[in-house]
Amino acid sequence: MKQITTYANQRVLVLGLAKSGFNAAKLLKRLGAQVTVSDVQPLAQNTEAQELQQAGFTVVTGEQKPELLDAGYDLMVKNPGIPYDVPIVKRALDLKLPIITEMELASEVAEAELVAVTGSNGKTTTTTMIQKMLDHDRTAGHAVYAGNIGIPASQVAQQVTAEDTLVLEVSSFMLVGTTTFHPHIAVLTNIFSNHLDYHKTRANYVAAKMKITANQTPSDYFVVNFDNPEWRELSTQSKAQVVPFSRQNVTQDGAYEDQGILYFRGEAIMPADEVKVPGDHNIENALAAIAVAKIKGVSTGSIVAVLRAFGGVRHRTQFVLEADGRQYYNDSKATDMEATEMALKGFKAPVVLLAGGLDRGYTFEKMIPAFKDHVKAIVLFGETAKLLAETAKQAGIKTIKMTENPETGVPVAYELSAPGDIILLSPANASWDQYPNFEVRGDKFIKAVEKLTGKQEEV
């Protein structure tokens, strides 16, 4: 870890705990800061706050009132999920108190070279592909991932050395709170209109994403999806060397697909249909990862080995196992219609779909085309089961079954399937009507598949 003096004797307020705030607080104390931690969860139910308090931190729990800032601070380290329009953050802005996120701290102390990945979709899969490629057959150090992927960057940044590569998944929420963040390789997978409740305008959202390249220089690299004119135009804002990727073969300057083959600057890498994770969106993710790997000098053999073996990130169109000629996929992370549509479009074989979940008050007519083209039978559960059944009828799906939950739905789906079919959990809804989160829902589905087939999940 770099021994920086930036935060020595600084009075720092860490706003919001969870894993990122907890680790940011510990790092700041190690760097000599005077740290106060504020979290809305009461102390009695807040194990992270209790641990920090026992370690000598000043801890304030409960409502985060603007008056908390009267104590006088030099810096606020804000949990990325806390919006900028809550009263205490608005007052900090009025006071011109610097506000950063934990990602900024991590980047300042990490000795390892940084690769950072952002985008509206595909961040986690692309980050994982890159990490696996950079770590494959590596002779010195390791490639490790952290950040929005679920591992606090400030924790990992203290452990990596100059021989390592730190691959960071970076959200727009994290990027807003950066000023010096400087990855050697930055990746932009795509930009759509997400998180406008947080950023207020699309322009703000795009500006947040583009902070990933704001401090790059001509000795750095900016890997960008060129399949959209807006994203190509955004790449001109970067001072780094732009390395494009394109599934539509709009450029051959970087990584691209041409007639079913993946290339990098004229070198054939592998057939697209040998990429194990299904779907055009995963070809784009693979192309982005190929570009980064080639920049770093990874062999074509290592790239191919990773893409042939990588079955997907857990809960994101994750290949679980194959049994009796059926392939089982866990896409529990599909908590909206768009994600399920994307998953369905990734399969050429007939799909028996398990779907349903929390009723958020919308209907599912926009899914009719994807249902018509890909779904042979559907197994429904949760609060939206009846609404989805109506959509399935409109799509002409003749076999529609109701079940209690994804676990009870697995044997039902098997009975409706035939060898060569895909059995896919892709709920198109949040999990909170039946499960605490989508991870638990996906894990329960996997256990049910293992019980039915007598086989273990492939990892």
| Whether pLDDT at 402 is above 90 | yes
Rounded to the nearest 10 degrees, how much is the dihedral formed by the CA atoms of 197, 201, 206, 212? -60
Per the annotation, does 123 bind a ligand? Answer: yes
Confidence band (pLDDT; 50, 70, 90) for 193? confident
| Whether pLDDT at 455 is above 80 | yes
Per-residue model confidence (pLDDT) at position 124: 93
Per-residue model confidence (pLDDT) at position 383: 98
How far, in Å, CA of 66 to CA of 437, rounded? 31
| Whether pLDDT at 351 is above 80 | yes
Please state, as a whole number, how many other Cβ atoms lie within 10 Å of the Cβ of residue 252.
14
Beta bridge partners of 323: 326
Per the annotation, does 121 bind a ligand? Answer: yes
How far, in Å, CA of 327 to CA of 171, rounded? 32
Per the annotation, does 127 bind a ligand? Answer: no
For residues 377 and 405, the answer to whether their CB atoms sit within 8 Å is: no
Per the annotation, does 299 bind a ligand? Answer: no
Confidence band (pLDDT; 50, 70, 90) for 345? very high
How far, in Å, CA of 195 to CA of 203, rounded? 12
Both structure tokens of 395: 């799509």
pLDDT tens digits for range 56-67: 999 999 999 999
Q: What does pLDDT average to over the chain?
A: 96
Per the annotation, does 122 bind a ligand? Answer: yes
Per-residue model confidence (pLDDT) at position 246: 98
Per-residue model confidence (pLDDT) at position 192: 84
Q: What is the mean pLDDT of residues 300-314?
A: 95
Instruction: Give the CA radius of gyration of the chain.
Output: 23
Tell me, what DSSP letter sits at residue 31?
Answer: T
| Whether pLDDT at 289 is above 90 | yes
Q: Annotate 276-319 with DSSP letters as a single string.
A: SS-SHHHHHHHHHHHHHHHHTT--HHHHHHHHHH---STTSSEE
| Whether pLDDT at 459 is above 80 | no
For tokens 């894990």, name the residue.
443
Per-residue model confidence (pLDDT) at position 458: 87
Confidence band (pLDDT; 50, 70, 90) for 195? confident
| Whether pLDDT at 194 is above 80 | no
- Three-state DSSP class for residue 151: strand
| Whether pLDDT at 261 is above 90 | yes
How far, in Å, CA of 59 to CA of 22, rounded? 11
| Whether pLDDT at 35 is above 80 | yes
Q: What is the mean pLDDT of residues 352-357?
A: 98
Domains with residue ranges and CATH for the chain: 11-100 (3.40.50.720), 103-309 (3.40.1190.10), 318-453 (3.90.190.20)
According to DSSP, the β-strands at 267-271 and 261-264 are antiparallel
Q: What is the mean pLDDT of residues 207-225?
A: 98
| Whether pLDDT at 322 is above 80 | yes
Comparing 193 with 161, which gets the higher pLDDT? Answer: 161
Per the annotation, does 119 bind a ligand? Answer: yes
Which candidate, 296, 28, 31, places its Cα nearest to that of 167? 296
Query: Residues 6 or more apart from 66 whose CB is under 8 A from it?
Result: 87, 88, 90, 91
Per-residue model confidence (pLDDT) at position 211: 98
Q: Annotate 376-388 with DSSP letters as a single string.
A: EEEEEESTTHHHH
Which candidate, 207, 237, 201, 205, places its Cα nearest to that of 222? 237
Which candidate, 110, 151, 116, places its Cα nearest to that of 130? 116
Q: Which helix (H) or strand (E) holds 47?
A: helix 47-54
Comparing 456 with 150, which gets the higher pLDDT? Answer: 456
Q: What is the mean pLDDT of residues 136-144?
A: 96
Per the annotation, does 193 bind a ligand? Answer: no
Per-residue model confidence (pLDDT) at position 249: 95
